[in-house]
Structure 1
Amino acid sequence: MKTLVTKNRVTKNLAAALLASAVLFGGAAADAGEIAVIVKTVNSTFWQNVQKGADAAMKEAGSNTLTFQGPASESAIADQVNMVENAVNRGVSGIVLAPSDPDALVPAVKKAWEARIPVVIIDSQLAKGAEQYYQSFLATDNRKAGELAAKALIEKTGTEGKIAVMSYVAGAGSEIGRVGGFTDYINAHSKLTIVGPFYSQSQMATALNQTTDVLAANPDLKGIFGANEPTAIGMARAIKEAGKSGKIAAVGFDGNQDLQGFVKDGTLAAIVVQGSFQMGERGIQTLARLMKKEKVEKFVDTGAVVVTKANIDEPEARNVLY
């Protein structure tokens, strides 16, 4: 009698273990779970456009539900780490993540990998060596995008003189590629001298104040580059307030309504616009394929378009503006 009870207990324990294993490694229980989209901040139209893309792709994700999160600011890296860890602890079916810091997010993504939760990285790369912990990376080729911005600026400034770089969060994966690509192209193809970079922490008001100071300290400045949405908006507002619209060549990055307005009124000569909607849409589509055990590409370039007053109403530009 005692042997029979023991066997029943072993059978029950084994069944429970197998069920837990099925959930852990992506069984039927994962078909009706949660997909967590965690971005750098919710307080930006760029990331809100990523959410629109993710929402549009949810039909690809079966009966899963979507949650969209991000810290109050891009510099609140610890908050984003906590969001990823909490998603892992909730046992979500998958994660789409735009990491604010290439190093700080690695341990949290590793936890997801250990829990057999598929992760798709968007927008910004994680540190080298972390590739094994996520399955796909979807982003603008930020070096190429930075080069596009540099070419657009040189077309307006020529190859000699002084320019400034208004950047956002030092060390962010996208910032390293984007500003690095811009700077390297300027140095290789011109004799322009670069002032900066200055880091706004992706705060529009900070970028405005920094740009005001840069313009005042450098009256001979020929050009200026604003490397992301809030930075470019602050930069453009400072240029306008200083009465220098059209007198200084300015190139921004990203493509919300404010930046489009600055292109149309001549404050910005150009904006380099990423496919933010596509990042969200293709991020979810890629995750859905992973959840079905399908193979996906390790890197997908979501592209960038140079938008000027001449092409802002053309289909190529309208497809990426938001």
Structure 2
Amino acid sequence: MKTFNTILLGLTTAAFALSTSAAVAAPKEIAVIVKTTNSNYWQNVKKGATASAAEAKGYNMTFQGPASESAIADQVSMVENAVTRKVAGIVLAASDPDALVPALKKAWEAKIPVVLIDSLVADSGKRYYQSFLSTDNEAAGEASAKALISQVGKTGKIAVMSYVAGAGSETGRVGGFKRYIEKNSQLQIVGTYYSQSQMATALNQTTDVLASNPDLKGIFGANEPTAVGMGRALAQAGKAGKVIGVGFDGNEDLKNFVKDGTLYATAVQGSYSMGALGVKTIVSLIEGKKVAPFVNTGVVIVTKANVDLPEAKNVLY
């Protein structure tokens, strides 16, 4: 009996050791939550995040986002659910600067590190995240304005086709564009239109703007779906190359619009880098390492002159 008990004790101890080892070895979840999954831009972010997650041993990445960038309540729920299931870290592109702050506070209270990418939250949420990786959106807006002025000159009418009013990236990007125009030209901005990041909405809005402003000289589309809709409207109205268009982001449609002259230029962010560096940064935080509070992931103004050069190919997707 003693021998049997000894064997049983040994088996129990071994089973406990295996169970403990399995628990320790279980991958830690990194939740990457973006503004929407229905965009090539965010899918390129996913590619970067996936590549970094594959290199990080002991981690499992999940990737999600709402059906649209305007579905802010859905994104808030995704962050709250990540906190509830006690993920190891969160990489977030916030759709709204204010609405996400309470959810980030919950992450902070649960001691879950957070890295923001693409868009900031309001100042009230500063203590709840540890690093921000993004294009310098104000500088990118200024660069877009400079590109437009180089082609249309400093007088006449232009239009701004934006996406979600008040989003962190939108505030910096469109704000930077407008301020540069106002300080460095006499161009009149006939209106700012918000597509809610819906390509079809941007197409219809641009079609209306072109019809009601036959003397329009230039137009700026401030994110991927908006710029694609804008480009299609220019082509359908026979205004490609006549009304100078500058887009933002760099999917296949926008690259082709630049190549065929529908758009003069598009400003392309390092979306792959945002995903890749976002995951690397959250892993560093989880492992107790110091990280930079801000990382500028850059922007490239892509025109016919450089669209086939490495500087553009490295950011187009």
Normalized against structure 2, the TM-score is what?
0.92
| Deviation (angstroms), 1:194 | 0.2
Give the whole-Å Cα distance in 2 for the aligned partners of 1:30 and 1:174. 38
The within-5 A match list for 1:163-182 is: 163-182=158-177
Displaced runs of 4 or more, over 4 A: 28-31
The answer for the alignment partner of 1:283 in structure 2 is 278
Structure 2: unaligned runs, 5 residues or longer: 1-22
Matches within 5 A, 1:115-194: 115-194=110-189
In 2: Cα distance, 1:29 partner to 1:193 partner: 62
Match of 2:235 among 230, 240, 247: 240
> Partner of 2:312 in structure 1?
317
Alignment pair present for 1:274 and 2:269? yes
Aligned letter for 2:47?
K
* Structure 2 CA distance for aligned equivalents of residues 61 and 229 of structure 1: 30
- CA drift at 1:59: 3.6
CA distance in 2, matches of 1:152, 1:230: 20
Contact 2:101 2:124 in 1 (8 A): no
Mapped to 2, the partners of 1:59 and 1:72 lie a distance apart of 26
1:211 aligns to 2:206 (yes or no): yes
Identity of paired residues, percent? Answer: 70
Corresponding position of 2:190: 195
Q: How far apart in 2 are the matches of 1:44 and 1:204?
A: 10
Q: Is the 8 A contact 1:60 1:285 kept in 2?
A: no
Structure 1 length normalisation: TM-score? Answer: 0.90
The CA deviation string for residues 108-131 of structure 1, in whole angstroms up to 9 with x for no partner, is 011001000010000001001311
Q: Aligned runs of 1:56-135 on 2, under 5 Å?
A: 56-135=51-130
Structure 1: distance between partners of 2:247 and 2:25: 42
Aligned mate of 1:47, from 23, 42, 46: 42
Q: Distance in 2 between matches of 1:128 and 1:146?
A: 21
Residues 1:35 and 2:7 are matched in the alignment: no
Equivalent residues of 2:210, 2:216 under 8 A apart: yes
Alpha-carbon displacement from aligned partner over 1:177-233 (angstroms, at most 9, x marks no partner): 000000000000000000111000000000000000000000000000000000000
Measured in 2, the distance between the counterparts of 1:228 and 1:93 equals 31
Shift of 1:30: 9.3
Give the match's secondary structure for 1:96. strand
8 Å CA contact 1:31–1:62 kept in 2: the answer is no
Q: Which residue of structure 2 aligns with residue 231 of structure 1?
A: 226
1:259 aligns with 2:254: yes
State the distance in 2 between where 1:267 and 1:59 align. 39
Contact kept? 1:60, 1:288, Cα under 8 Å: no
Unaligned runs of 5+ in 1: 1-27
Alpha carbons 1:272, 1:305 under 8 Å: kept: yes
Kept in 1, the 8 Å contact 2:25–2:58? The answer is no
Number of equivalent positions: 295
Please state whether the residue corresponding to 1:120 is helix, strand or coil: strand
The Cα shift of 1:64 comes to 1.1
The range that moved more, 125-134 or 260-269, is: 125-134
